[in-house]
Copies of this chain bind each other. A is one copy, B any other.
Amino acid sequence: MAKPVKRHSNTAGLPPGTLVHVGEKKTEEVQITYLDYDELNFQEKQVSDISECFQFKATPTVTWINIDGIHRIDIIEKLGQQFGLHPLILEGILNTEQRPKFEDFEECIFVAIKMLGYDDQKQSSYAEHVSLVLGPNFVISFQEKVGDVFEPIRDRIRNAKGRIRKMGSDYLAYSLLDAVVDNYFVILEKLGEKVESIGEELIAEPTEKALHQIHSLKRELIFLRKSVWPLRELINGLQKSESSFIKESTRVYLRDVYDHTIQIIDTIESLRDTVSGMLDVYLSSISNRMNAVMKVLTIIATIFIPLTFIVGIYGMNFKYMPELEWRWGYGIVVLIMALVAVSMLLYFRKKKWL
């Protein structure tokens, strides 16, 4: 899970458009791949020099350039010059703290989103900064490191499955967004399982560890929410944008992705409600236990304190205490004490403390 405030200040004061990579470097090598296709043709290649991709700018085929690793500023810069990208786009690609947004430029549409992942070791989700540049016949995608949720899309392009090979670059961009959004459900499921297992633990025994887990869950849900809320606006904006890059037929698909983001937000809110409820249950369990402890103390103390007083009386050393001399004094006192104890117990039963 993310820290609430990340280092962003190293860019403070720099002129806008200065290309600085913000965030930690998550990979050593930068990997560049392109897929170029139309309904009939298809080629895919991993290249070491970004300029190999420039040939496709002029062709009518759809080209998808994918770049894993965004710390090599020179590559981004070259690409920017070749495709005529606005300095703010380049800045947005490099700034891993960029809030999800889309920006409508004349020559292209820029989309920045968060791709979620789940770290099984740390038992928490993390976000990866992904940017898309959508032009009339190309999509360029930037990721922080190798490994993504786009493999099924590549397969569909390679094998000409579905309608993707017949559609334009806007449909490709939509498919990428859809893959990212669909993956949120996978993360939410993991969180859902975690919520359930902590919930069961809590009913069995409310420990302080559980409390810390509940709070960490809460923070994780807030973190997720922060990633999804702007996503919703983003996709709504894209769907309603007047850009000519997005065809009418693709908008209905974007509306579908929009519905998914709403569903994700609903699920997050449900989980938040559940977690809040767990906190309430925890707190009242604690107070119930306290109550039980107090009751035991009270019962024991209120029974034995008067009895101890009685035995104390006959432990006094007064010379003239007639009861001490009686033949059945001891027995009578024991009897009286038994009576006191029994009436106390009856009183407690009446009060429903037993």
Contacts and interface: CB of A to CB of B under 8 A. Distances in A.
Interface string A1-39: 001110111011111111000000000000000000000
Contacts of A256: 16, 88, 91
A162 B91 CA distance: 14
Contact of A263 (B99, B222, B298): B99
Given A304-B306, A311-B313, A316-B314, A330 B325 contact: no
A307 interface: yes
A223 B269 CA distance: 11
A236 interface: no
A222 B297 CA distance: 40
Contact of A4 (B101, B205, B211, B270): B270
Interface in A76-116: 86, 88, 91, 97-99, 101, 103, 105
Contacts of A208: 284-285, 288
B192 A4 contact: yes
A240 interface: no
Interface string A266-288: 11001101100101111111111
A175 B15 CA distance: 8
B13 A152 contact: yes
Contact of A281 (B14, B151, B211): B211
Contact of A305 (B151, B163, B300): B300
Contacts of A282: 284
A99 B300 contact: no
A311 B305 contact: no
A240 to B, nearest CB: 15
A212 B152 CA distance: 44
A13 B175 contact: no
A179 interface: yes
Contacts of A13: 149, 151-152, 179, 182-183
Specify the main secondary structure of chain A where it touches its partner.
helix
A147 interface: no
23 contacts: A4-B195, A4-B271, A11-B182, A13-B151, A15-B152, A15-B164, A16-B175, A88-B256, A97-B263, A99-B259, A208-B285, A222-B270, A226-B270, A286-B288, A292-B351, A297-B297, A300-B301, A301-B302, A304-B305, A305-B305, A315-B316, A320-B329, A321-B330
Interface of A: 3-5, 7-9, 11-18, 86, 88, 91, 97-99, 101, 103, 105, 149, 151-153, 156, 161-164, 175, 178-179, 182-183, 185-186, 188-189, 191-192, 195-196, 205, 208, 211-212, 215, 218-219, 222-223, 226, 230, 252-253, 255-256, 259, 262-263, 266-267, 270-271, 273-274, 277, 279-298, 300-302, 304-309, 311-321, 323-330, 333-334, 351-353
Given A286-B288, A300-B302, 20 more contacts: A12-B182, A15-B152, A17-B162, A101-B259, A211-B281, A222-B270, A222-B273, A226-B270, A286-B291, A296-B302, A297-B298, A301-B302, A304-B306, A304-B309, A308-B312, A312-B312, A314-B318, A315-B316, A318-B330, A321-B330
